Amino acid sequence: MPPYWAIGVGAGLAGALLFLTAGVGSPILGLPLFFAALPVFLAGLGWGSRSALIAAVTGFVVLSSTSSFTAGLVFLVADGLAPAWLIHLALLHHVETEPRLTPAEAARLARKGDSQEPESEEDGNPDESAATEWYPAGALAVWTALIAVGVLVVSGLSTMAMGVEGGLEGALRMLLAEELIEGRAIEAGLREMGLSADPERILSLIVIALPAFVVMAWSLLTLGNMWLAQFILERSGHNLRPTPSLLDIEYPPFLLALFLAALILSLIPGSAAQLGGAIMIALLVPYFLLGLAVIHAISRAWTARIALLGVFYVLLIFTGWLIVPVCLIGLAEPWAALRARFAQSEAPTGKEIS
């Protein structure tokens, strides 16, 4: 048996085991669920996309046999096939004989006193100037958002085709009403917090916000597991590609057009508003990451950089309100070019990048 087969089967078993922790009923013991895609990424980024595909199918078979077909299908789509496709893209590469420098890279070279132009064949061995260009990290973030959007659209169209009143919102209401309303879960939660509100209105808010929250959480967890797998593999020497620089991520112009279209859709009354809002949140995730890249680039000039970034991430995680300005920074970056401006300001006099 080839190594990638054994690795794939083992990763699928590990992913299925992590996925099964969702049913333990405890928030703490259920935390491994968030890492269900990690074994698939480890298998794929270390032993190839075929190994990731084997892991996806293995996890589906195990969960369908031991839990339910629905659980197996969710794992197959969210933690199996989607990571396998991202791995396939991440391992795409070609040889670039004349490496192109981003403004930030050129400024760093200028600060070091190096030439911005790559060595010519007359200056040395031609093979030494060749570089392998891997699939960009920004494109992987965009693909993650597009996969989330695709699942949302398919789910919305499926509920409408089945004749569910209210589309996706109506289907979620039917699924959650029995437990949250009839089971008085919302009423008990409000009573514990000392609040008084209409449970039906709370259910409506949950139903509206749930798709957006799910796609946002899935996108961030998927990209986070991908980064963690790459980190582990690079430290162990099993990575098939180098770790990309997240500070230089860039996105294609069509992403902003899709975001504006989703924003317009979210303003249309009816079930389309919920779908549009969820799509808009899914497309905001790449811009959130871009905003973080801008902040990290700007932080190079801070004297206590590590401490300040630590405080920033603590506030980001425990308050949540910083997500909005970070997303706005990411949306403004294509026009403001803050990273390039910062790189120019750091370059020595006479070596600014035009």
The pLDDT, as a whole number, for residue 2 is 78
Question: Using one digit for the tens of pLDDT, what is the confidence trace for 107-121?
Answer: 566 555 544 444 444
How far, in Å, CA of 287 to CA of 280, rounded? 11
Express each pLDDT in 161-170 by its tens digit. Answer: 877 776 777 7
Helix axes 254-266, 137-161, angle to 10 degrees: 30
pLDDT of residue 177 exceeding 80: no
Q: What is the pLDDT of residue 28?
A: 67
Amino acid (one-letter) located at 351: K
pTM reported for the whole predicted model: 0.81
Residue the block writes with tokens 């054994």: 6
The angle subtended at Cα 315 by Cα 310 and Cα 320, nearest 5°, is 140
User: Is residue 8 very low, low, confident or very high in pLDDT (cuts 50, 70, 90)?
Assistant: very high
pLDDT at 206: 81
The mean pLDDT of 200-224, rounded to a whole number, is: 86
* Residue-level pLDDT at 51: 96
- Residue range 57-62: mean pLDDT, rounded: 96
Q: Using CA atoms, how far apart are residues 142 and 138, in angstroms rounded to an integer? A: 6
pLDDT at 345 over 80: no
Give the mean model confidence (pLDDT) for residues 91-107: 67
Domain ranges of the chain: 127-224+242-354
Which candidate, 233, 289, 268, places its Cα nearest to that of 43? 233
Q: Is the pLDDT of residue 134 over 70?
A: yes
Q: Residue 334 pLDDT more than 70?
A: yes
Check residue 97 and give its pLDDT.
Answer: 60
High-pLDDT (> 70) share of the chain, % = 77
The DSSP code for 117 is S
Mean pLDDT of 69-94: 94
What pLDDT score was predicted for residue 275?
82
pLDDT score of 163? 75
Q: pLDDT tens across 221-242, in order?
A: 999 999 999 999 999 999 999 9
Average pLDDT, the chain: 82
Question: Is the pLDDT at 100 greater than 70, yes or no?
Answer: no
Tell whether the model's pLDDT for residue 128 goes beyond 80.
no
pLDDT band at residue 210 using 50, 70 and 90 as cut-offs: confident
Residue 93 in 3-state DSSP?
strand
Ramachandran category for residue 114: left, alpha or beta (phi over 0 → left; psi -120 to 50 → alpha): beta
Average pLDDT value for residue range 31-35: 89
pLDDT (0 to 100) of residue 127: 46
pLDDT at 278 over 60: yes
For residue 122, name the pLDDT band (cuts at 50, 70, 90): very low
Q: Compute CA distances 261 → 220, 250, 277, 284, 327, whole Å.
A: 22, 20, 10, 13, 17
Helix ranges, the chain (H): 3-20, 38-47, 49-66, 69-74, 82-90, 103-112, 126-129, 137-161, 167-177, 185-192, 199-236, 254-266, 271-298, 305-319, 323-336, 338-346
| Residue of 42 and 319 predicted with greater confidence | 42
Rounded Cα gap, residues 163 and 171, in angstroms: 10
pLDDT, residue 353, reads 43
